[in-house]
Chain A
Amino acid sequence: MLGDIGTLVLQGAMISAVYALIAIGFTMIFGVGGILNLAHGALIMAGAYLFAILVRETTVSWISIHPVIAFPLAVLGIAGLSWGLYQGLVRWVEENVVITFLATVVVAVASTELVIYWFGSSPIGMTLIGGAINLEPYGFNARPRYVEFAGFVVSWIVIGLLWYYITNTDDGRSILAASMSERGAQLTGVDLHSVRSKTWLIAGALAGIAGIFLGSTGSATPLMWLNPLALAFIIVVIGGIGSIKGSVIAAYFIGFLEQFTVTFIGQGFRGILSLVVLVLFLLLLPQGLYGREFVHD
């Protein structure tokens, strides 16, 4: 029992760290632009595939870069892709919520098809850091992998940096201001277009990091983005739309809830409790833990 709880804490913490990265990016774009970016999942998938291309000899035969160099390159690549998606498509339709929603769905589906066309539907494995630690001598029946620890540490470093940026720099505070009230932000001289571009850049980087860790702990498949996107949606509702703090707390809540379900109830019930919690929040606390009522301007 104690061993089970230990394993639960360990696994829950590691998976939640990745969920948090995904949800923060998703909620930032919604908070600032009011855009429900369903292509966010596609960026996660792109992160895994781009990293695979860079580190694996067998994906593209003439590229094989050390993971330590490939990691930042892949993250920058996905951040750029996200920024390009905003500049090339979303900014032209963002005033219309329905069109934006549809456009991002189209991007998500089209990128899935493209990945199937280029790489096939077979899973592609990749290594960020190899090896695992056996915790059995310490009473825990688990052998977590180093890559999972790395995911946890990187997640917290990134969240810390982002928090510092948002709360302690003028640049970052303009994002916070725009998420509170666009008109208010504009009146204080914030360039909305530039703020939105920045949020897409940051959200893309976070999605890229999450994709690399998901690909390295599991493998890259064309539909690997569906589940994380659904989770991000649940997490954002629970945490409160637009709230970074809420997303982190909700990501850990959902991550642990899932791990609890798997450990004590059964693998088949994994997602069900999260959905029940989602429904409860929608009924009882629709603005989420740290959300605001929408301010109409």
Chain B
Amino acid sequence: MTTVLAGCLGGDDDGLTIGHLAPMNNVLGVGSDRTAQMAVEEINDNGGFNGEEATLETRDTRTEPSEAQSVTEELIQQEDVDVLVGTFNSETTQSILDLTSEFDVPFMITGSADPGLITDYVGDDYEEYKNVFRVGPINSNFQAESIADYCAYLSDRHGWDEVAFLRDNAAWTEPFGEHIPDLLDERGLSIVHEDALSIEIDDFSSVLSDVNDSDADFVLRFFAHIDAGEMLGQWAEAEYEFGIEGVSVPSMLPVYNAGAEGAATYETTSQSGAAGVSPITDRTQPFVQDYADRYQDEEDYPTRAPMYMGFNTYDGISVFKEVVDEIETTNTRDNLDDFVAAMLGIDFTGVAGQVTFYGEDSDYPHDVQEEREDGTITNYPMTQWTGIEEIECVYPEKHRTAEHQMPRWMQ
């Protein structure tokens, strides 16, 4: 009955439809949309999804939960999507989890890292939210661990042991605020200055003075909302004697350092996919090359590589193809249990790394598993700006293209 009604309402039961959700006013969203198009085109051309060609429907969530809800509802009710991929900020993702579970639509998260998106939903009520998977990035708890290991590398390489820990005063950095101090302590590093900065901050003079006063060897910062372009400008011009490390979402944009007139040189950020500069898997470089070939002449950034969410979205759609081939139907909504079982069995070599999911009884059911080598997480690589347009992957060793460099004025 529901199917008949959906048909009457304009739903399209004949074809396979993939819904993609992203903030399209944001470069991350643009990159993600482009990789979704690439994945769908390539798979359609190579035999399709279990023999069916897919149509891609992208909707703009504008990083607003209410907007995300309305476009998701439209995708589910009117476009009758068979899978949803995407969403960037955690607040937006959270706002549509109930909708997707109510309609049994498989949902692959490719931009948000808040562990609560898994633990508070699939983890709390498995039957209700079993449609939800996170393809990437690894959740913030693993990210915190990976970054602490990276700090230990900095300590080994440069003798940097004293850390100024700064973060956005926002939800996504709370796991870092909670875990980083202990994780650093375990590795013999100490936090000498700590601050959660207002995301409205526009004058960094006092922040830099405080860090300088603390004699920290480097700033470990987690910025997504704050664009620290001004901080970098002051840091580079005044040649402050500390490194700038950690996560900065704005700095993941391939033209960021050109925009900052080179002030970002020597700063680092971690990002799944390592900006495409390292052969993380055999598929990474061909994928980035293909992306650049297609989009390098476009006006809208990102043109050289898609940024982290794009890597994960591409992998999400590729994983979806593997799974529907295995269950031999694209009608995932009526065969959700088969879909979930196939997803849990997947071991897929993607462009951002190996994709495998945690099972029902783990701490993070349906979350992408972190990759480890010798106990160290390897699928949250760290990149460093080494020139206006040059980026190197400096951590982990497995993916390293160059050793981490101290700022020029400290060498």
Residues of A participating in the B interface, judged by any CB pair closer than 8 Å = 7, 11, 15, 56, 58, 120-127, 130-132, 134, 136, 141-145, 217-219, 221, 227, 259, 262-263, 267-268, 270-271
Q: Do B261 and A126 touch across chains, with their CB atoms under 8 A apart?
A: yes
B246-266 Cβ-contact flags toward A at 8 Å (1 or 0): 000010010110111101000
In the complex, are the beta carbons of A270 and B198 less than 8 A apart? yes
* CA distance in complex: A15, B273 (Å): 40
Contact of A58 among B205, B208, B230, B258 (CB under 8 A): B258
Q: Is the CB of A219 within 8 A of B206?
A: no
Given known A-B contacts A131-B237, A143-B238, A270-B198, A122 and B203 have beta carbons under 8 A apart: no
Specify which chain B residues have a CB less than 8 angstroms from the CB of A217 in the assembled complex: 230, 233
Q: Are A15 and B203 in contact (CB under 8 A)?
A: yes
Contacts of A145 in B (CB 8 A): 234, 237-238
A132 near B237 with CB under 8 A, answer yes
Is B354 on the interface with A (CB-CB < 8 A)?
A: no
How far does the alpha carbon of A263 sit from the alpha carbon of B213 in the complex, in Å? 13
Closest beta carbon of chain A to B60's beta carbon, Å: 14
Q: Are A219's CB and B229's CB within 8 A? A: yes
Quick check: A125 and B260 within 8 Å, CB to CB?
Answer: yes
Residue in B closest to A129 when the chains form the complex, CB atoms: B237
A-B residue pairs in contact (CB < 8 Å), sample of 30:
A11-B205, A120-B300, A120-B301, A122-B27, A122-B250, A122-B255, A122-B259, A125-B229, A125-B260, A126-B261, A132-B237, A134-B239, A136-B212, A141-B209, A141-B213, A142-B209, A143-B208, A143-B239, A145-B234, A217-B230, A218-B202, A218-B229, A219-B229, A219-B233, A219-B260, A267-B207, A268-B169, A270-B200, A270-B201, A271-B200
Chain B, range 186-239, C-beta contacts under 8 Å to A: 195, 197-198, 200-203, 205-209, 212-213, 227, 229-230, 233-234, 237-239
The DSSP consensus for interface residues of chain A is loop
**Roughly how many angstroms separate A7 CA and B212 CA in the complex, as a whole number?**
13
Is B126 on the interface with A (CB-CB < 8 A)? no
In the bound complex, what is the Cα–Cα distance between A122 and B195 (angstroms)? 25
B240 contacts partner chain A, Cβ-Cβ < 8 Å: yes
Per-residue interface assignment for chain B, residues 288 to 308, with 1 indicating a CB less than 8 Å from any chain A CB and 0 otherwise = 000000000000110000000
Name the A residues within 8 Å of B212 (CB-CB).
Answer: 136, 141, 143
B25 contacts A by Cβ under 8 Å: yes
Do A143 and B301 form a contact, CB below 8 Å, given A123-B259, A127-B261? Answer: no
Q: Which B residues have a C-beta under 8 Å from some C-beta of A? A: 25, 27, 169, 195, 197-198, 200-203, 205-209, 212-213, 227, 229-230, 233-234, 237-240, 250, 253, 255-256, 258-261, 263, 300-301
A268 to B195, CA, bound (A): 11
Chain A min CB distance to B209 (Å): 5
Check A267/B197 contact, CB under 8 A, given A122-B256, A219-B229.
yes
B197 and A123 contacting across the interface, CB-CB below 8 Å: no
Query: Nearest Cβ distance between residue B375 and chain A, in whole angstroms?
Result: 38
Most chain A beta carbons < 10 A, residue from B27, B195, B206, B234: B206
> Smallest Cβ distance from B126 to chain A, in angstroms?
39
The chain B residue with its CB closest to the CB of A227 is B202
Q: Which residue of A lies closest to B253 (CB)?
A: A122
Contacts of B263 on A, CB cut-off 8 Å?
Answer: 125
Given the known inter-chain contacts A122-B255, A219-B230, please indicate yes or no for A130 contacting B202, CB distance below 8 A: no
A121 surroundings in chain B (CB, below 8 A): 25
A120 to B197, CA, bound (A): 25
Question: Measured between alpha carbons, how far is A259 from B205 in the docked complex, in Å?
Answer: 10
Check B233–A125 contact: CB distance below 8 A.
Answer: yes
**Minimum C-beta distance from B73 to chain A (A):** 28
Shortest distance from the beta carbon of B218 to any chain A beta carbon, whole Å: 17
Give 10 nearest A-B pairs by CB, closest first. Answer: A143-B238, A132-B238, A268-B198, A218-B230, A125-B261, A123-B229, A219-B229, A125-B260, A132-B237, A262-B206
- Nearest B residue to A122, CB-CB: B259
**Shortest distance from the beta carbon of A70 to any chain B beta carbon, whole Å:** 14
In this complex, the member of A122, A130, A268 whose beta carbon has the largest number of chain B beta carbons within 10 angstroms is A122
Contact of B238 with A122 in the complex, beta carbons under 8 Å: no
Hey, which chain B residues are within 8 Å of A127, CB to CB?
261
A142-B205 in contact (CB<8A): yes
From residue B257, how far is it (CB to closest CB) to chain A in Å? 10
Closest to A271 in B: B200
Most chain A beta-carbon neighbours within 10 Å: one of B202, B234, B253? B202
In the bound assembly, the distance between CA atoms of A227 and B230 in angstroms comes to 15
Q: Which residue of B lies closest to A134 (CB)?
A: B238
Smallest Cβ-Cβ distance to A132: which chain B residue: B238
11 new A-B contacts at CB < 8 Å, known A120-B301, A217-B230, A270-B200: A11-B205, A120-B300, A125-B229, A125-B261, A136-B212, A144-B205, A218-B202, A218-B229, A263-B206, A268-B198, A271-B200
Q: How far does the alpha carbon of A187 sit from the alpha carbon of B258 in the complex, in Å? A: 57
B259 pairs with A125, CB closer than 8 A: yes
